[in-house]
Chains A and B, each alone.
Chain A
Amino acid sequence: MSAATLTVRSSKAAREWGPALIVAVAVIGGWQGAIAAFHIQQFLLPKPSNIATALWNDRSTLWPAGWYTFKEALGGFALGSTLGVLFALIVARFQRVGSALMPIAIAANAVPIIAFAPIFNAWFDPLQPTSKMAIAGVLCFFPVLVNTLRGLQSVRPQQIELMRAYAAGEIAIYRRVRIPTALPYIFTSLKVASVLAMIGAVVGEYFGGSFDALGVLIRSDAQILDFVTAWAGIVVASVLGITLYLAVAIAERVFVRWAPGGRDV
């Protein structure tokens, strides 16, 4: 890579990320200023600088707790998404299974599954990560299923005709047409699922969990009115959630680089 392309790349990065960075700095600066200007109480909204201090002082408890919760989210994400894709493949392949199960799956997709968090804690040991993985997994499952199925079914009829003209069997059609067509849909749903997984894990912990977990930490800090530390916990949860989202987005760039939308020529 020459120096010239490096310059082009960094100036392109500056153009892409610059505006967002300016807004972020302005919001945090405005937040800090508004609290001083309007004398907002600390328990309502702490200063960003205080949150940053708490983040630093409690780093030895916050980040390990975040990592603990992140692993729960990751486990649920992997489990729910894998099952969602597999289930979609089965439903797309066997239409009878589909017509029996899809209306139920679509209805279930609209259910606020997070409301089941206390029930899941009762079903599984609330102190074990499995109960949170279960919630995160169920949250991820339905959007991945519904989107993957839509992707598998959005193949143009002529593409199938072409494959049939080449005497392709069902497996070849799936491998060479349906699955590649579905990939952008799958990644869109995985991005949604990555966010839901973190929500599922943290909210699941609000209803009880190990003291190593971030959700439990945030809740107990809030109960003893230590809102600054609770906010610091939320920042940790956000950073980890964004990290998971970005990991999926990077995987999408790698696997779907052909897509006209994501063209980086």
Chain B
Amino acid sequence: MTEPTTVVSVSGVTKTFPRGNVTALQDINLDLGAGEFISLIGPSGCGKSTLLRVIGDLVEPTSGAVTINGKSAPQARTDRDYGIVFQDAVLFDWRTVAKNIELPLEMLGWDKAKRRARVEEMLSLVELTGFGDHHPWQLSGGMQQRVSIARALAFEPALLLMDEPFGALDEMTRERLNLELLSIWQQLRSTVVFVTHSISEAVFLSTRVVVMSPRPGRIAGIVDIDLPGPRSVETREDPRFFELVTEVRELLRLRGEHLLPEEEAAAAREDA
């Protein structure tokens, strides 16, 4: 089912880590269409971050394959087909905000004038116009994460990988950035893979939520999110929103119940 609009195709991906003989991912199959916003959710140790890294060719699968835009994952990485955002902003202290956003553009060999113009666009996209000359440590955590998103999107990748990008932020900042991310996604129409621990965040943002279960990491179920767009503050009060949150929660509970506390602790250690 590799239609032309499929951006990411994960087929039969298994990943075992030799240390402790842990099966982080077992036989994962997943296709992402263009413009989809997919969340990966599951308890610690379910392999959601590993799956994200396999898609980005930062971790090599033990077996199975990933294609991005019809290319192998290593080729896609070499072609810089995706942008990535981590839980920490991972900004470089010695670069100003503008220079941080420019980094991938430098790697692509853009000339200075073109880089500068794009940085201004990105700063206005993430609502940080005027902060270009600041250093990362002069910004709040939420602002730093916005810089990191601007950097990931600066070269207009078709695919955006996000590994718990708002996990370290407070609830209010997180909800505001959720809205901002949705508006950016609607403007750019890129495909997003979003790893999160938060059920409501996953339901609020996504077109589909992939629920994963641990040991070994598997897809427990996929929930289509049929909330009307554009989503807003009111979406979180929609009765359908609560139904979907409940549906995801039950899938998580169903698959998580057999976990013994010590297994959960071991899984959490792996995740860290």
Which of A's residues lie within 8 Å of B, judged by CB?
156, 158-159, 161-162, 164-168, 172, 176-177, 180, 183, 256, 258-260, 263, 265
- Which 4 residue pairs spanning A and B have beta carbons closest together? A258-B94, A180-B94, A165-B84, A166-B107
Q: Which residues of B contact A161 (CB under 8 A)?
A: 53, 58, 84, 86
A162 and B84 contacting across the interface, CB-CB below 8 Å: yes
Dominant secondary structure at the A interface: helix
Which of B's residues lie within 8 Å of A, judged by CB?
53, 56, 58, 77-80, 82-84, 86, 88, 90, 92-95, 103-104, 107, 135, 137-138
A159 and B90 contacting across the interface, CB-CB below 8 Å: yes
Given A158-B86, A161-B58, is A166 in contact with B93 using a C-beta cutoff of 8 Å?
no
Q: Which residues of A contact B88 (CB under 8 A)?
A: 156, 158
A166 and B80 contacting across the interface, CB-CB below 8 Å: yes
A162 and B93 contacting across the interface, CB-CB below 8 Å: no
Chain A: CB-nearest residue to B86: A158
A166 and B103 contacting across the interface, CB-CB below 8 Å: yes
Query: Knowing that A167-B80, A180-B94 are A-B contacts, what are 14 other residue pairs whose CB atoms are under 8 Å apart, sorted by A's residue number?
Result: A159-B92, A161-B58, A161-B84, A161-B86, A164-B58, A164-B77, A165-B58, A165-B83, A165-B84, A166-B80, A166-B104, A167-B77, A167-B78, A265-B138
* B77 touches which of A158, A165, A256, A259 (Cβ 8 Å): A165
Distance in angstroms between the alpha carbons of A161 and B86 in the assembled complex: 10
Distance in angstroms between the alpha carbons of A176 and B137 in the assembled complex: 18
Q: Which residues of B contact A162 (CB under 8 A)?
A: 84, 86, 90
Chain A: CB-nearest residue to B151: A162
Give the distance to chain B from A205, nearest Cβ to Cβ, in Å: 40
Q: Which residues of B contact A263 (CB under 8 A)?
A: 135, 137
Chain A: CB-nearest residue to B74: A167
A167 and B107 contacting across the interface, CB-CB below 8 Å: yes
Distance in angstroms between the alpha carbons of A172 and B86 in the assembled complex: 20
Distance in angstroms between the alpha carbons of A258 and B91 in the assembled complex: 13
Give the distance to chain B from A161, nearest Cβ to Cβ, in Å: 6
* B103 touches which of A156, A176, A258, A260 (Cβ 8 Å): A176
Q: Which residues of B contact A176 (CB under 8 A)?
A: 92, 103
Given A166-B80, A176-B103, is A260 in contact with B93 using a C-beta cutoff of 8 Å?
yes
Q: Which residues of B contact A256 (CB under 8 A)?
A: 94
Given A158-B90, A162-B86, is A168 in contact with B107 using a C-beta cutoff of 8 Å?
yes
Q: Which residues of B contact A165 (CB under 8 A)?
A: 56, 58, 77, 82-84
Distance in angstroms between the alpha carbons of A156 and B87 in the assembled complex: 13
Q: Which residues of B contact A166 (CB under 8 A)?
A: 80, 103-104, 107
Q: Which residues of A contact B103 (CB under 8 A)?
A: 166, 176
* A260 touches which of B77, B90, B107, B137 (Cβ 8 Å): B137
A258 and B135 contacting across the interface, CB-CB below 8 Å: yes
Give the distance to chain B from A236, nearest Cβ to Cβ, in Å: 38
Give the distance to chain B from A128, nearest Cβ to Cβ, in Å: 42
